[in-house]
A and B are shown apart, each in its own frame.
Chain A
Amino acid sequence: MKLVKLSSVAFALVWLSGCNTLGLNSDDGLMDGEDGVVVEDRGVSAEGLDGDGINGTAIGDGAETQVIVGEDGYTGTDLDDPTNALSNRVVYFEYDSSAVREQDQLTLEAHAAYLADNPTARVRLEGHTDQRGSREYNLALGERRALAIRQILMIQGASANQFQLISFGEERPQSEGDGEVNWQNNRRVELVYTGR
């Protein structure tokens, strides 16, 4: 319903802009008089309103972790166990680096083992960077971080078809603002399970 409404509005906008569009300007054949002003230049263009407003579709954040804790303690699967290493779904990086740090090895081992044991499980690796420097370079750096995580998980038994990789570069910071604490929070790969 929303989509239908938007498209008709977009149409109306294009229609309106079409009405407002003037002819293109041209200086062709115009000459400057030596003294007086002799040249007429009709119809200098204002360019018409450009384009329509297409709205992108939001994608969800994928499977959210639901923690289920029964009266006698935890009863769900390993993936849902808040005490399991699998509950850690974010890996952080040094500046301009895609090297995985020592402290994240255990987390990644657990995810690799889970993926190897559950061939139907699917995970999306979302690469991010801090907000400094070139946005396009950061887009590539975010992808390289996601690739680095995939490589480690595959060496430890996960299969290529279990992964989807996306880089958001610096476009989706976890922490806003300056300073190393914020920047560190943003240099990360998030593991988002889309199938179990």
Chain B
Amino acid sequence: MIKRLLMGLGLFAILLSWQARAELVIEITGGSEAALPIAVVPFGYEGFVPQEDISAIVKNDLERSGRFAPLPQKDLISTPHEKREINFKDWRLLRSEGLLVGKVSSLDGQTYEVQFQLFDVYKAQQLVGRRYKVPAASLRSVAHKIADQVYQALTGEKGVFSTRLAFVSVLKKTDGTRHYALQISDSDGAKPRTVLQSKQAILSPNWSPEGERLSYVSFEKGKAEIFIQEMRSGQRTSLASFKGLNSAPSWSPDGRKLAMTLSKSGNPEIYVMDIATRTLTRVTHSSQAIDTEAVWMPNGSELVFTSDRGGRPQIYKVSATGGRAERLTFEGRYNASPDISPDGRYLTMVHGFNGKFYIAVQDLESGAVNVLTERGKDESPSFAPNGHLILYATEQNGKGILAAVSVDGSFHQRLGETGIDVREPAWSPIRQ
């Protein structure tokens, strides 16, 4: 047992070192003018000082949401940690409506008490406040929860800082072989952990609606097959390994079905599989065209997918039980990789013209198309679960990196990584 444990620890250390190197670093590359000013006062400490700087994590979360512009620390007129230390009259001199204060205390360095209070400076009222008692390992999670509550209190929308990202990292060895890792990180790119490693390609991770399972495509058996994997136990199941392609899995909003692309008929077609019974329903019947990349409309009864039935790849919509497909995109010669905003209003896609590929958003009500990116090597767009940001893959200096843009195109950020190619991002849902 001890031997096994040591061996486990050895590999654990190797994984940790790969992960430490793989940490995503966030860089905001374009600000939003509509961002709300907010004062985030560095939290006070009593007893042991934790490794995680909670107020800094909260501040970074709020800033990279694109909705907030935290005031520079030098502008903060004092450093209160609770209400009785706040002189609201002074704070009203700053433009900021929101004031976040808090403190962290620990008697033993193992368990921490964290409390925060968010105030409306003009009304001198608390908007939200909580105290948490957590082990040291959960301090980052607490920081993200605080950021979620601040976000919700001031914008009226749910924060997504406690969600996670899934993505694929590719390490190219000097002998030319590639090592693929399916990784999960916090929404800020921190704490990446590997949930699957393979010498063959891994593609198209997709979260289940409750955020506890991933479906993805793995080439581990030599060709594209679909797997699902439980995040907590690591247990994985081969779901589709039919002759031909098994790819582009997408979970239905009720979590019971998976839309997928199968070419067992001799041509790539969209199918819906009932996960419990493995029963397949064929959705498309275009014997010559490519039909792939189906995603669900939030109503759970329609699918949006890519097809070249009109000669070039464009986005279509069809009932999940089959029938006549309706074409949604008409601008540009190449539209692929659709994703739908949680409210069903917006379609994001890879939009190609003049040999370049951008992330675009189409308002499904008005039909207006807005191209959001400029570099032209962008792919795999995925909506944040609150619909405000779109996460996508792009390239910088020949390396794959992740980036995000606000739906209105005003706010840009890069999640750069050092040395390792990252691609195929998928933003998890908000866990209930």
Contact = CB atoms under 8 A, between A and B. Distances in A.
Interface of A: 8-9, 11-17, 20-22, 25, 30, 32-59, 96, 132-137, 139-141, 143-144, 147, 165-168, 171-172, 177
A44 B130 CA distance: 12
Given A12-B8, A44-B138, A136-B247, 14 more contacts: A12-B11, A32-B128, A42-B133, A42-B134, A44-B145, A51-B194, A54-B220, A56-B221, A96-B312, A96-B313, A137-B293, A139-B248, A140-B245, A168-B201
14 contacts: A9-B7, A9-B11, A14-B234, A21-B232, A46-B140, A50-B195, A54-B220, A132-B355, A139-B203, A139-B247, A140-B245, A144-B268, A165-B244, A166-B223
A167 B245 contact: yes
Contact of A50 (B4, B200, B231): B231
B224 A135 contact: no
Contacts of B129: 32-33, 36-37, 39
B337 A136 contact: yes
A140 B268 contact: yes
A14 B15 CA distance: 13
A133 B135 CA distance: 45
B108 to A, nearest CB: 16
Contacts of B15: 13, 53
Contacts of A22: 135, 137-138
Contacts of B285: none
A84 to B, nearest CB: 29
Given A47-B232, A135-B379, A55 B130 contact: no
A46 B141 contact: yes
B336 A137 contact: yes
A93 B261 CA distance: 23
Contacts of B248: 136, 139
Interface string B105-145: 00000000001110000000010111111110110111001
B290 A141 contact: yes
Contacts of B195: 50-51
Contacts, number: 211
Given A45-B141, A50-B195, A53-B194, A133 B203 contact: no
Contacts of B201: 168, 171-172
B45 interface: no
Interface string B180-204: 0000100000000111111111011
Contact of B134 (A44, A51, A134, A140): A44
A74 to B, nearest CB: 31
Contact of B236 (A54, A132, A165): A54
Contact of A133 (B292, B357, B398): B357
Given A134-B336, A139-B292, A54 B134 contact: no
A169 to B, nearest CB: 8
A139 B155 CA distance: 41
A136 B140 contact: no
A14 B355 CA distance: 46
A51 B196 contact: yes
B417 interface: no
A35 B124 CA distance: 10
Contacts of A135: 203-204, 379-380, 424
B12 interface: yes
Most buried by A among B128, B194, B234, B379: B234
Interface string B221-236: 1111000010111101
